[in-house]
Structure 1
């Protein structure tokens, strides 16, 4: 039966009455239960965007929002306390030349921002995240002419630095002592830093350092002394520094792959460590000692590596764990006292397999 025009009219009136009784906001609440609406807030100093300053946009953003910064020079100090994405798609410059002891970007509390695409210059501190608990990320960014590039001591989050660079600092590139998170630094360069490339002394956690370059540091490439945790160092190059990797009194297991140390004093320095160490595919060219260990108790494996030093290739005197050196070459070109492998007073359990040693002497415990 085909409904009449009056019947259709009655149905429409009835439907409108039903909708009128639905409480206001129910539809919005139902959408919020399944998805979270996010906004993109734009920034441009010329007034053509939503905001003229980055900080104003960050303050207006809610968790999950994106603050997109257009190219330009911004004389600001930014504080981020929300889980926002702060991005400069076409690059933007933060300049601290108008501040005394300024900070380019400060992350606070449990905030976990994702920061991408910025150059930060002329600040005392580039990125500050000390005592934070969030999993923040710094990506595709540069810190230049600062005292410290990234300052994050006592942080407990699983933070990440990727595809970035730190250059011309007075002190360390990354200063992150006493951290407890499981952080990652990858695809990052540290050039002409006054202290360590990465200083994470007295920290705990399992960490990954991969595809980084430290060139002309005033101290060490990576200093992880006093740390407790398992470390992975992969495809890392250290040039013109005191030491490539230092881990005195560390307590975790270490895997070092594709480490290159050039024109430095020592390639790898450990003492009083208790973890197991595996070093493979390393190329170490140093002015003094290739690998220095002392009073270690863990098992050591060095394989497929090339060590070229002046005084000692491997110094392992007084070690207490088993050692295996295989498929490697060791060249020592110093004076008559130079030694390829020095393992005096070491515990039993030494093995040299397919190792080519070119030096004045080999002293290995039997």
Structure 2
């Protein structure tokens, strides 16, 4: 005869009831921390989505959610703050345009004093400036911008781990990208037609890599104050100046093509610059020392520099790829200098 079956204690029965109740909750109601219940919130001007207001959609987003913008020209401004791991994604930079409002300076803001934002990603749309500003990043961490067209200034202050990648940024009457006390990576962007291309100021620490920066009225890159910058494998071309290293800044400049500017490098005696394996081909001077006035400083030339025509495919049409007969292949540890791979023979 088998042993008698003992009844479960009441506390175990109560635990089982709670467990089964929790297990029966639908995935849409579970915490995003579990990897479930993550939503895509749709914004559409014609009312076919969840919201017509981008701001209302962003405000409703929880950790892990994506706010998706259907095609349209949105005369709205947007502030993303007090959010973590939220994405704002457009249908494409040629299909979604943020225009801002008449009473607000700037159009897209990520972070807001004192709230900030963490691990926010924004992609695939065009943002037009309003009041001189297009995008502002403030007091955030882990902010990623990619595949954006920004018409106007992109400003970043006190942001950690920012990444700006594969964007087109231009048309600012001041600076295309301004970093103040920010730690960031600026990689593979096309930055054009600004007064200054990129300004790294304050105590910023920025890596500037594989960007094409062109048609700046003044310098393509300025590193100032006590900022640190690594300027590597960029094409700085058709600007007033290639790069200026000023103040007490500390920089490394290597593997760049600095050509068709009025001036190549402008270096202040108070700054520290390690330059190597750069190609320089500029109208007036390749190296100048900052002073009152600035004066030519050919003695600053690095032994590893390559001077002379880089052999662009078609600089008149802004095709800054290197021709197959360029002298800028296999230089130092670089397979090629500058931001753009050499053109194939069939495309030249």
Please give the TM-score of this superposition, normalised by the length of structure 2. 0.72
Rounded Cα–Cα distance in structure 1 between residues aligned with 2:80 and 2:134? 14
Report the Cα offset of residue 26 of structure 1.
Answer: 4.4
Q: 1:52 to 1:136 in 2, by over 3 A?
A: same
Residue 269 of structure 1 deviates from its aligned partner by 1.2
Distance 2:219 2:305 in 1: 28
- The 5 A counterparts of 1:78-117 are 78-81=78-81, 82-83=83-84, 84-91=86-93, 92-96=95-99, 98-108=101-111, 109-112=115-118, 113-117=120-124
Distance in 2 of aligned mates of 1:34 and 1:155: 27
Shift of 1:290: 0.3
**1:228-267 map, 5 Å:** 228-229=227-228, 231-257=229-255, 259-267=256-264
Cα gap change, 1:35 to 1:183, in 2 (>3 Å): same
CA distance in 2, matches of 1:329, 1:62: 54
Q: Residues 197, 143 of structure 1: CA spacing in aligned structure 2 closer, same or farther, 3 A cutoff?
A: same
Shift in CA distance, 218/74, structure 1 to aligned 2, threshold 3 Å:
same
2:136 aligned residue (116, 128, 132): 128
User: Could you say if the C-alpha distance between residues 202 and 315 of structure 1 is closer, same or farther in structure 2, counting changes exceeding 3 Å?
Assistant: farther
1:268-310 Cα offsets, whole Å, 9 max, x none, are 1111245350321x22222221022479xxxxxxxxxxxxxxx
CA offsets, 1:188-239, max 9 Å, x none?
Answer: 112211x21111223332x21111122211221010022343x321221223
Q: Give the Cα separation in 1 of the matches to 2:215 and 2:261.
A: 9
Which protein, 1 or 2, shows the higher relative CO under an 8 Å CA cutoff with sep ≥ 6? 2
Deviation at 1:253, TM superposition (A): 4.5
Aligned length: 289
Superposition deviation, residue 90 in structure 1: 3.5
Instruction: Report the Cα distance in structure 1 between the residues aligned to 2:98 and 2:280, rounded to whole angstroms.
Output: 38
1:172 to 175, 190, 200: 175
Moved over 3 A (4+): 17-21, 23-29, 31-34, 89-92, 273-276, 326-331
**1:251/1:166 CA distance change after superposition, 3 Å:** closer
Q: 1:287 aligns with which of 279, 283, 292?
A: 283
Q: Return the offset for 1:139.
A: 0.6
Shift of 1:49: 1.3
CA distance in 2, matches of 1:283, 1:326: 9
Partner of 1:204 in structure 2?
204
**Mapping of 1:303-342 within 5 angstroms?**
314-316=297-299, 325-326=303-304, 328-329=306-307
**Aligned partners of 1:327, 1:54: CA distance in 2, in Å?**
50
| Aligned residues: CA RMSD | 3.4
Give the Cα separation in 1 of the matches to 2:32 and 2:108. Answer: 33
Partner of 2:322: none
Q: Secondary structure at the match of 1:121?
A: strand
Deviations 1:295-327 (A, max 9, x none): 9xxxxxxxxxxxxxxx95x533xx8xxx86147
Question: What does the per-residue CA deviation read over 1:164-211, in whole Å, with 9 as the maximum and x for residues that have no partner?
Answer: 01122221101223x1x4201111112211x21111223332x21111
Q: Which residue of 2 aligns with 1:39?
A: 39
- How far apart are the structure 1 equivalents of 2:197 and 2:225? 17
C-alpha distance in 1, partners of 2:185/2:239? 22
TM-score by length of 1: 0.69
Verify the 8 A CA contact 1:226 1:247 in the aligned structure 2: no
Deviations 1:13-70 (A, max 9, x none): x9xx7787436864469x7597243211111111111112211111111122110111
Q: Label 1:21 to 1:51 Cα distance change in 2 as closer, same or farther (>3 A).
A: same
Gaps in structure 2 of 5+ consecutive residues: 2-6, 310-348
